[in-house]
Structure 1
Amino acid sequence: MSFIGNAVGSITGSNKQAKAAQEASNQQYEATKYATDQQKQMFDEVRKDQQPYMQAGYDALKQLMGGMGQNGQFMQAYNGQDIYNDPSYKFRLNQGLDAVQGGAAAQGWLLSGATQKALNDYAQNFASQEYQNAYNRYNADQTNQYNRLSNLVGLGQSAAAGVGNAGMQTGQAIANNTMAGANAQAAGTIAAGNKTANNFNNLLGIGTAVAGMFI
């Protein structure tokens, strides 16, 4: 009878151990699910925070590519006639012409041919001197616009790269969590299977022992 008692005790003990193993595996599985949810939320927050910078870079890239297109502003060569549209050129030219006319008027030569020639000569010489200055200003303006857009593109690119890196890390972490959860559930299933097998063997032993008592 002691054998039967031991067998029954063994069945009871194995049931408790299997139940504890199953509960532990379930807890581990739930923990991996929680960790996955937290990591996903963190990634979503990173992506949300970086979205304005990525959008700024995207918009700047569209402008930059438009400016670099066939008829884009950054592909336009400087036109010598552009000097006449330069506000600073016009201002200085008018100041110089006014000075020539003022000097001629003071001497009573305002409407003379010499005054008209002096005005024409001044305008031509001034245009020649100012051409390089106007060209430099044009290039500087183009360069400044390009650099501003390029900097925004770089900012957006860095933000996108950061989100991509965070996405890869999150994906790897979620994959690891999934494997850990699967392993935990598998361990619980194996423990339950072992418990069933042990119980069957113990019951078989009890049956054999009981049968032997009546032989």
Structure 2
Amino acid sequence: MPVAAAAVTMVGGALASRAQSKAAKSAAAAQTEASQAAIDEQRRQFDMVQELMKPYVNAGTQGLSGQSDLLGLNGADKQQAAIDAINNSAAMNTYVQQGENALLQNASATGGLRGGNTQSALAQFRPQLLNQLVNQQYQNLGGLTSLGQNAAAGVGNAGMQTANNIGNLLGSIGQAQAGSALAQGQARVNMINTASGALNNMIGSMSFQGF
């Protein structure tokens, strides 16, 4: 091979290797950028899910705390405070007034206004009503607790799905970078092989020509 041709081959191999390496870097950068954009969007969507579910999770937390208070799980003081709040509520006072009036009107109509049965009914009415309202409050709070539990489970599932998606995208970034490194390494090997072959041919040509 003439010296000039060998030199051209070496230069051409070097340029080709450089182009191949640059292309590998560009491809890896593009894939990394796309994957990172997808990761950012995944995180943004998860943050939105958390924000949307936050009121329901908070309501569920309050509901569970209220149920625990009524059951005495948070201490006797909080249990008493929860019962007192119901006993002194506007709903309790309204129902007591309506119920006692109904009992007195019925007793008056039947001529038993001062009878023992009427007095006993009046004495039992408020405690029974309070017990009923406490049970009703517990059930209402249970609805909030269930709502919060479902919301928390939804956030948890969204978090796991987001984590899986981000893990896959990070794997794609790793593969792109590894592929780029391998491609650049192969380009260097090709350049060395091309240069070595051209150099050997050039040396052989020079020897044949008597240099």
**TM-score when scaled to structure 1?**
0.74
Aligned to 2:188: 196
Q: Paired residue for 2:60, among 53, 57, 60?
A: 57
3-state DSSP class of the match of 1:20? helix
Alpha-carbon shift at residue 99 of structure 1 (Å) = 6.7
In the alignment, does 2:97 pair up with 1:87? yes
Alpha-carbon shift at residue 98 of structure 1 (Å) = 6.4
Aligned to 2:155: 163
Structure 2: unaligned runs, 5 residues or longer: 85-94
CA contact (8 A) 2:20 2:184 kept: no
CA contact (8 A) 2:13 2:195 kept: no
Letter in 2 for 1:180: S
**Structure possessing the higher radius of gyration over alpha carbons:** 1
In the alignment, does 2:30 pair up with 1:27? yes
CA contact (8 A) 1:18 1:191 kept: yes
What is the distance in 2 between the residues matched to 1:6 and 1:211?
Answer: 14
Structure 1: unaligned runs, 5 residues or longer: 77-84, 104-117
3-state DSSP class of the match of 2:171? helix
Q: Paired residue for 1:205, among 187, 197, 200?
A: 197
What is the distance in 2 between the residues matched to 1:158 and 1:127?
Answer: 48
Aligned to 1:81: none
- Name the CA shift for 1:96/1:184 in 2 (closer, same or farther; >3 Å): closer
Alpha-carbon shift at residue 136 of structure 1 (Å) = 5.5
Q: Paired residue for 1:42, among 18, 42, 45?
A: 45
What is the distance in 2 between the residues matched to 1:48 and 1:19?
Answer: 43
Aligned to 2:87: none
Range with greater deviation from structure 2 (1-10 or 59-68): 1-10
Letter in 2 for 1:158: N
Matches within 5 A, 1:132-147: 137-147=129-139
- Name the CA shift for 1:209/1:97 in 2 (closer, same or farther; >3 Å): closer
Aligned to 1:149: 141
Alpha-carbon shift at residue 47 of structure 1 (Å) = 0.3
Alpha-carbon shift at residue 141 of structure 1 (Å) = 1.6
CA contact (8 A) 2:10 2:194 kept: yes
Letter in 1 for 2:22: K
What is the distance in 1 between the residues matched to 2:50 and 2:106?
Answer: 59
In the alignment, does 2:77 pair up with 1:67? no
How large is the Cα RMSD of the aligned pairs? 3.0
**TM-score when scaled to structure 2?**
0.75
Please give the per-residue CA displacement for 1:34-73, whole angstroms capped at 9, x wherever unaligned: 0000000000011011111111111121111011106426
CA contact (8 A) 1:32 1:181 kept: yes
What is the distance in 1 between the residues matched to 2:197 and 2:113?
Answer: 126
